[in-house]
């Protein structure tokens, strides 16, 4: 079986999902109005939608989907660290680079985050500039702000002490 692509309408716009036979390969926001869309009759597609709905309802803090993001060893190291940022919290690029043991690799960390193929699941919207300023997000800064606001509605804290 080849890859399966479908669109899902989230509260923040259309989300494009790509599935292999066994894992989620890509999740990204798509601009435009695609009208009514229906996901394929596929168990993994149904599970992706179930978890996305739960996330947007504030009932899911971490996704548990089979993932196949590809990427280099370094990118996967960064993405794994991003997945450890608690729901509703933010961490700076510099703190993230220190967390992975490469304190001088801030730009490389930012590049790995920019190439994240699994938005929301690998929650790169939780990474900010060193002053807490919202910077770069492939889904757009407005969505990044709205995602952080959504998460903060369901938690008491907002700044991570993880790193």
**Domain interval for residue 139:** 73-152
Please indicate, yes or no, if residue 160 is contained in any of the structural domains.
no
pLDDT at 158: 46
Q: Are 125 and 137 in contact (CB under 8 A)?
A: yes
Please indicate, yes or no, if residue 158 is contained in any of the structural domains.
no
Please indicate, yes or no, if residue 162 is contained in any of the structural domains.
no
Read off the pLDDT of residues 146-162 as tens digits, 9 standing for 90 and up: 999 999 998 865 444 45
Domain shared by 111 and 79, yes or no:
yes
Tokens at residue 18, please?
């790509």
Q: How far apart are CA 22 and CA 140, in angstroms?
A: 29
Read off the pLDDT of residues 21-46 as tens digits, 9 standing for 90 and up: 899 999 999 887 776 666 778 899 99
Q: How far apart are CA 147 and CA 12, in angstroms?
A: 9
Please indicate, yes or no, if residue 50 is contained in any of the structural domains.
yes
Whether the model pTM is above 0.85? yes
pLDDT at 135: 86
The number of distinct structural domains making up the chain is: 2
Domain shared by 52 and 78, yes or no:
no
Domain shared by 90 and 129, yes or no:
yes
Tokens at residue 103, please?
């304190």
What CATH number corresponds to the domain at position 133? 1.10.10.10
Tokens at residue 38, please?
């229906």
Catalytic residues: 124
CA distances to 6, 63, 69, 132, 159 from 50, in Å: 14, 10, 20, 31, 28
Please indicate, yes or no, if residue 159 is contained in any of the structural domains.
no
């Amino acid at each position: 079986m080849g890859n399966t692509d479908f669109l899902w309408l989230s509260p923040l716009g259309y989300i494009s999902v790509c599935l292999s036979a066994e894992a989620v390969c890509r999740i990204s926001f798509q601009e435009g109005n695609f009208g009514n869309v229906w996901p394929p009759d596929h168990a993994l597609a149904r599970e992706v939608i179930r978890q996305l709905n739960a996330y947007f309802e504030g009932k899911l803090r971490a996704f548990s989907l089979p993932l196949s993001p590809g990427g280099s060893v370094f990118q996967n190291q960064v993405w794994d660290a991003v997945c450890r940022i608690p729901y509703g919290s933010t961490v700076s690029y510099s703190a993230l680079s220190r967390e992975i043991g490469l304190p001088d690799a801030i730009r490389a960390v930012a590049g790995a985050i920019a190439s994240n193929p699994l938005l929301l699941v690998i929650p790169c919207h939780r990474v900010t500039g060193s002053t807490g300023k919202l910077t770069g997000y492939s889904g757009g800064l407005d969505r990044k702000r709205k995602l952080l606001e959504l998460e903060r509605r369901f938690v008491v804290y907002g700044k991570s002490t993880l790193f």
